[in-house]
Amino acid sequence: MEKPKLGKPVICSTIVFLGTLAFSCSVAAEFKKVKAKDMKLDGSLCSLPRSSAFGLGIAAVVCLSIAQIVGTSAVCIHSGDNKSRRSRIVSITLLVLSWISFGLATILLAAGSSMNAGQPYGKGWINGNCYMVRNGVFLGAAVLIVPTVVFTVQWERRSTIACTHLDEEAGRDHQQREVIKPR
């Protein structure tokens, strides 16, 4: 009797957990970001304090990055004849969409976080000027986290790793990885 394989549910659960954590951190960062009332002016120089949105944004980027890497690198691609053309196109589309939404969410989170890292007098964020995150930047990232997680989980669901040891008689003693036909 074979043991049930727990790899796929564990990977999908990890992706969903980390995605939920990234979403929560992103929403919390929206409410904790630096506000205009926090800006201090000294003549033409300005200063903004560091806010907790910085840490929350970084945490969201880290969680989302780990989820994306776990979800998309846990699959080996095998160009066998057992995959239909349509199924391959759907899988590639899911992979590309997950990376696009991941990239956009990461850009929003990174920019928003860096603006909340604190901007001392005369240094600012860019060219010595103080910049604040606009309303909705972290929420926009949170919205993009959802399709990233959905596309990554669907990619993971459609692809299965089967690791089997090759026959010792064939002269190969390493593991062979192949993708089993998607559902």
Q: What is the pLDDT along the chain (183 residues), one digit of tens a residue?
A: 455 566 778 888 999 999 999 999 999 999 998 887 877 777 777 777 888 999 999 999 999 999 999 888 865 544 454 557 777 788 888 889 999 999 999 999 999 998 887 777 777 666 667 778 889 999 999 999 999 999 999 988 877 533 333 333 344 444 454 555 455
**134 assigned to some structural domain:** yes
Total structural domains within the chain: 1
CB 24 within 8 A of CB 65: no
**176 assigned to some structural domain:** yes
**135 assigned to some structural domain:** yes
- Six-digit token pair at 81? 């004849």
**98 assigned to some structural domain:** yes
Query: Domain range spanning residue 46?
Result: 7-180
**2 assigned to some structural domain:** no
What's the CA gap between 182 and 89, in Å, rounded?
Answer: 12
